[in-house]
Amino acid sequence: MAAPRNTTDDDITTEVLQRFAQTSDTRLRQIMLSLIGHLHAFVKEVELTEAEWFQAIEILTRAGHLSDDKRQEFILFSDTLGVSMVVDLLNHRKPDGATESTVFGPFHRLNAPEMPYGGNIAPLDKQGPPTLVSGRVLDLGGRPIAGALLDVWQAQTSGLYDSQDPSLHQMHMRGKFHTDAEGRYLVRTVRPVHYPIPSDGPVGAMLRATGRHPWRPAHIHFVVSAEGHEPVTTHIFDSADEYLASDAVFAVKGSLICDFTRHEMAEGEARRLGIIPPYYTTHFDFRLKPASGQTTVLDAQQRLAALGVR
Ligand code: BEZ
Ligand code: FE
Q: Per-residue pLDDT tens for 100-145?
A: 999 998 889 899 999 999 999 999 999 999 999 999 999 999 999 9
Residue nearest to atom 6 of ligand 1 (CA): 105
Residue nearest to atom 9 of ligand 1 (CA): 105
> Cβ neighbours of residue 234 under 8 Å, at least 6 residues apart?
99, 100, 101, 102, 221, 222, 223, 224, 256, 286
- Indicate the range of 12-21, 77-86, 183-192, 292-301 predicted with least confidence: 292-301
104 CA: nearest ligand 1 atom:
5
Q: What are phi and psi of 109, to 5 degrees?
A: -130, 140
What is the reported pLDDT for 71?
84
What is the reported pLDDT for 91?
87
268 secondary structure, DSSP code: H
84 CA: nearest ligand 1 atom:
6
On average, the pLDDT of the chain sits at 92
How many angstroms separate the alpha carbon of residue 248 from the centre of ligand 1? 9
Angle (CA) 72-77-78 rounded to 5° is 100
How many angstroms separate the alpha carbon of residue 273 from the centre of ligand 1? 30
Q: What are phi and psi of 4, to 5 degrees?
A: -65, 145
How many angstroms separate the alpha carbon of residue 221 from the centre of ligand 1? 9
**Residues 80-99: pLDDT tens digits?**
999 999 999 998 887 779 99
233 secondary structure, DSSP code: E
216 CA: nearest ligand 1 atom:
2
The rounded Cα 111 to chain-centroid distance in angstroms is: 17
Per-position b or e across 197-214, b if 16+ CB within 10 A of its CB: bbbebbbbebbeeeeeeb
221 CA: nearest ligand 1 atom:
2
Nearest CA to 241 out of 220, 266, 226 is that of 220
Residue nearest to atom 1 of ligand 1 (CA): 105
Instruction: Tell me if 150 sits within 8 A of 284, measured CB to CB.
Output: no
Q: Is the pTM of this model over 0.85?
A: yes
What is the reported pLDDT for 307?
53
How many angstroms separate the alpha carbon of residue 264 from the centre of ligand 1? 32
Is the CA virtual torsion 142, 145, 151, 155 positive or negative?
positive
How many angstroms separate the alpha carbon of residue 77 from the centre of ligand 1? 11
How many angstroms separate the alpha carbon of residue 81 from the centre of ligand 1? 13
Confidence check: pLDDT of 297 > 60: no
How many angstroms separate the alpha carbon of residue 106 from the centre of ligand 1? 6
What is the reported pLDDT for 300?
46
198 CA: nearest ligand 1 atom:
8
User: With a 6 A CB cut-off, is 236 part of the ligand 1 pocket?
Assistant: no
Confidence check: pLDDT of 214 > 60: yes
108 CA: nearest ligand 1 atom:
3
What is the reported pLDDT for 165?
87
What is the reported pLDDT for 299?
45
